[in-house]
Structure 1
Amino acid sequence: MRIAFYGSSLLSSYWNGAATYYRGLLRALAAHGHAITFYEPDAFGRQQHRDIEPPDWCRVVVYPATPQGVAQAAAAAAGAEAVVKASGVGYADDALLRAVLDAAPPRALRLFWDVDAPATLAALRAAPDHPGHAALRELDLVLTYGGGDPVVTAYRELGAADCVPVYNALDPTTHHPVPGDARFAADLGFLGNRLPDREARVEEFFLATAEALPARRFLLGGAGWEARGLPANVRHLGHVPTAAHNAFNATPTAVLNINRASMAATGFSPPTRVFEAAGAGACLITDDWPGIAMFLQPGEEVLVARDGRDVAEHLAALHPARAGAIGRAALRRVLAEHTYERRAVLVDLLLRRALAAKAEGVMA
């Protein structure tokens, strides 16, 4: 079917953690015969920091971050069979959602794809007059990239017709084992932008660990850390483009995942970093959150840390042979159970069922 997808950016991962998720899912969906157009605003310097050029599996339209640009992009929904508005587009999100819903033809599916359900649900609960409440009643389906049963229940209670999690996953064509790269040599690497909802956890799980282990080497990738004072044994790389993520993950003895506080509290929300690391065969240490074992088995396929002290203990005891075994086990698990192709099978089924049901309702 013809899908109009409105998201933050497909072409750039710059200040855009959803890029890998969009790319993996939409590439896999396109292989099921869907014709997808991705609409992204020219905002936040992303077009100047592209990681990929427009792909052959998805048409990309970059529109001006202006009210006129939003209106023109939204008008294109009139030609789609399924219209998807993602959360966190970053420019005029509420106005874009309203415009897209108004432009979509009566027979078209209307979907909201939430890539940050804890933040969206908190905003809706805090404001009874939030425009999202009215929009929920017009949507055919809400998809989320995580959150499990608590998020599904919350969306249904707020009036969504249905909500289905479509978890992050691995695209083995883009994230896979590679030889080590001297640029990324370290005992522990962490890749993540500096965000208010995560900074305190980065200080606890990563920076405090570096201070506790001054003889070890630590590698920090991501934007926003330039003005933050760092321990002497932490090397900061700045933004690391997607093309370098495999080497970043494959080279250090271990890599660290730190969920944002809201995601960790909600649980069942593995970020793309988890699957990028596992796909590269890396030994992953992650902060603790509910639902980890749905994706990787603690102690065998991933190491779990409740705090910075746990991270330091894992790292101090980790020898290369065990790190390699954990990384290989994680790779086997994600290839068997957690690829975007498997997620796309679910989304394809959901779309076809919803479109058929809507067609019956319109005809009736």
Structure 2
Amino acid sequence: MKLVVLGLSLSSSWGNGHATTFRALLSAFAARGHDILFLERDVAWYADQRDLKCPDYCRLEFYEGAAALDGWRGEIASADAVIVGSYVPDGIAVGEYVQRHAQGVTAFYDIDTPVTLSRLREGTCDYLSPALIATYDLYCSFTGGPTLDLIEGQYGSPMARALYCSVDTATYVPQDIPKRWDLSYLGTYSPDRQPTLERLLIEPARAMPDKRFVVAGPQYPPAIDWPANVDRIEHLPPAEHPSFYSASRYTLNVTRADMIAAGWSPSVRLFEAAACGTPIISDIWPGLGELLAHNQEVLLADKPEQVIVWLHEDKAQIGAAARTRILAEHGAASRARELEAHLVEAVTMLAPDKIAAAQ
């Protein structure tokens, strides 16, 4: 299969979860024998923070703007499938360009589904429009559950399928290193996640001065009052994620409000930490139990007192069980098979006119 992907970023993981998602998925997809071209908008923010310049599993090229896609028109037209990702700059114009010129299956990969749907309701989404949804043959969503029915029923998608994030299980493995922190958190600052971070990490840190905590991620306001026993890491490159989790007795998973409301919206950090065998303490949202079993593969918390109790205990078996589950169901190889199946289904069920035109 020849695949063209127009995504937010593959080259830079700075301040976004898209790059690590695409890296794991496309590497595994290429391993299945497929040819991939990734087209990334060349923006200064990511250009200054690139940590992957020459992937060995796909061709990475940059374009200046939607009008510059004419330079790749032949590639887009001849591809078996073209995927446009969420948060792509000028994503509506990019999507419309793809619809005009692609002869194969067209798909939208929403790595931010609850946020997208919220913005669509408010009329503030600049990378996807309601009209454009119906023109994509396939809508792959980071969110499963009832949201898929909404995308098809309310917005007219011919085919909405869950395609959760995944993890490269060859890279994310437990490391035999000393534990530096009792509880860690890895994530970019978000105003709607911050109250949960305050409740489930900062409050326990204040109550347990003998324990060590760490928050890794950019964009946290300087006004935040970090306790003395909370370390701060401004940016943690993906290559350092496995050692970060392996150095943590527990790690915290915090979910954005829109994703909690929608449910069935796992973060890539959830899978990465589990693959490293680190016990996860997570906030609570519908669908989590279908991915990791409560109290067996993941611990749930909504109060600091629960976190404090667990930090006095050894729950290594929770991390080990979660790793087993991730290896079986949520590795990049599993997700690549799912993507392939979705695209084949779209070819056979939704785009016979495109097949006829190509012939």
Among 318, 343, 350, the alignment partner of 2:342 is 350
Contact persistence 1:205–1:258 (CA under 8 A):
no
Quote how far apart the aligned CAs of 1:210 are.
1.7
User: 2:245 touches 2:273 (CA, 8 Å); kept in 1?
Assistant: yes
Matched with 2:196 is 201
Rounded Cα–Cα distance in structure 1 between residues aligned with 2:181 and 2:125: 49
Distance 1:240 1:128, change over 3 A: closer
1:13-162 matched pairs, under 5 angstroms? 13-43=13-43, 45-64=45-64, 66-69=65-68, 72=71, 76-89=75-88, 91-105=89-103, 108-127=104-123, 132-146=129-143, 148-157=144-153, 158-162=155-159
Distance 1:359 1:18, change over 3 A: closer
Mean Cα deviation higher: 289-298 or 154-163: 289-298
Distance 1:201 1:129, change over 3 A: closer
| Aligned 8 A contact 2:145 2:287 in 1 | no
Structure 1 residues 74 and 213: alpha-carbon distance in aligned structure 2, compared to 1, 3 A threshold: farther
Sort the Cα spacing of 1:208 and 1:69 in 2 relative to 1 into closer, same or farther, 3 A: farther
C-alpha separation in 2, matches of 1:8 and 1:22: 10
C-alpha separation between the residues in 2 aligned to 1:217 and 1:71? Answer: 53
For residues 271-328 of structure 1, the C-alpha deviation after alignment (integer angstroms, 9 at most, x for no partner) is 111111111111111111111121211212111112333223322x323xxx322211
- Stretch of structure 1 that moved more, 257-266 or 108-117: 257-266
Cα contact 1:219–1:235 (8 A) shared by 2? yes
**Aligned counterparts of 1:71 and 1:194: Cα–Cα separation in 2:** 36
* Structure 1 residue 269 displacement after superposition: 1.1
Residue equivalent to 2:209:
214
Q: What CA distance in whole angstroms lies between the structure 2 residues aligned with 1:128 and 1:41? A: 21
Look up the equivalent residue of 1:144 and give its one-letter code. S
CA gap 1:36/1:275 in 2 versus in 1, 3 angstroms? same
Partner secondary structure for residue 187 of structure 1: strand
SS state at 1:40 partner: strand
Task: State the AA in 1 paired with 2:96.
Answer: R
Percent identity at matched positions?
A: 34
Q: Is the 8 A contact 2:119 2:125 kept in 1?
A: no
Q: Hey, what does 1:295 align to over in structure 2? A: 291
* Match of residue 255, structure 1, among 251, 255, 258: 251
Question: Residue 74 of structure 1: CA displacement?
Answer: 6.4
Using the TM superposition, name which of 186-195 and 33-42 deviates more: 33-42
| 1:86-113 deviation digits (Å, cap 9, x = unpaired) | 1012x222222222222323xx111111
Count of residue correspondences? 353
Residue 266 and residue 74 in structure 1: after superposition, are their counterparts in 2 closer, same or farther (change >3 A)?
farther
SS of 2:248's partner is coil
Q: Is the 8 A contact 1:268 1:292 kept in 2?
A: yes
Q: Which amino acid aligns with 1:195?
A: S
Q: What is residue 328 of structure 2 aligned with on the other side?
A: 336
Query: Does the CA contact (< 8 Å) of 2:218 and 2:234 recur in 1?
Result: yes
Q: CA deviation at 1:195?
A: 1.8
Is structure 2 residue 187 aligned with structure 1 residue 187?
Answer: no
Counterpart of 1:13, as a letter, is: S
Q: For 2:239, which of 234, 237, 243 is the aligned residue?
A: 243
Return 5+ residue gaps in structure 2 as ranges.
none
Question: Per-residue deviation at 1:78?
Answer: 2.2
Q: Deviations over 1:24-47 (max 9, x none)?
A: 111111122221111112225323
- Please list every run of 5 or more consecutive structure 1 residues that lacks an aligned counterpart in the other structure: none
Question: What's the RMSD between the two structures over aligned residues?
Answer: 2.2
Are 1:118 and 1:262, in contact at CA under 8 Å, matched by a contact in 2?
Answer: yes
Give the structure 1 partner of residue 272 of structure 2.
Answer: 276
Contact 1:75 1:100 in 2 (8 A): no
Corresponding residue number in structure 2 for 1:327: 319
Residue equivalent to 1:12? 12
Shift in Å at residue 69 of structure 1?
3.9
Q: Say if 1:35 and 1:201 are closer, same or farther in 2 by CA, change over 3 A.
A: same
TM-score by length of 1: 0.90
- Distance change in 2, residues 1:94/1:304 (3 Å): same
